[in-house]
Amino acid sequence: MERPEKNEYAAYYETYVSLVEETDIVAVLENQIAEMQNLFAEITEEKAAFAYAEGKWTIKNLVGHLSDGERIFAYRALRFARADETALPGFEQDGYIENANFDRVSLADLVEEFILLRRANLLFFKNLPVEAWTRGGAASDNFVSVRAIAYIMVGHVRHHINVLKTRYLN
């Protein structure tokens, strides 16, 4: 699978796409499952309630946000892969966090939820017909292709894992 061209996603997604050097995006999506399992196995429930500064998310909120993102990006990929070009709205991540109450959920459940979502999405991407990867549509008022969404999903997780390692676990 070739990397998406810069015209296949909004400029603000370059933060995520630039974190993905690999071209076998399906393998990377799969490898992130074990990475997440290994990383979060080391974090206690007590530590999961930690936020590195006032007003910042807790580790649980970060993991919950990864699942929200996984769902939303996958929904966009599904719609566009099936040639549905209906424009899709954006989402305000902070509003989602405020209304999710992730801190009442165990870290183990939050991680398992992400893993199950990713496994389902992995099967979706593994079985996409070749022509579906370059289909796209408008999300958040910008064109995005299915293959760009896969790269964004990987980069989104990498971005937040980098934040976790540098600001929460360091």
Can you tell me the mean pLDDT for 103-129? 98
Residue 146 has pLDDT above 90, yes or no: yes
Contact 69, 120 (CB under 8 A): no
Which CATH superfamily, name and number, covers 13-168?
dinb family like domain (1.20.120.450)
pLDDT band at 103 (very low <50, low <70, confident <90, very high): very high
pLDDT for 85 equals 86
Residue 108 has pLDDT above 90, yes or no: yes
pLDDT for 82 equals 98
**pTM for the complete prediction?**
0.97
Residue 127 has pLDDT above 90, yes or no: yes
Can you tell me the mean pLDDT for 87-92? 94
pLDDT for 170 equals 85
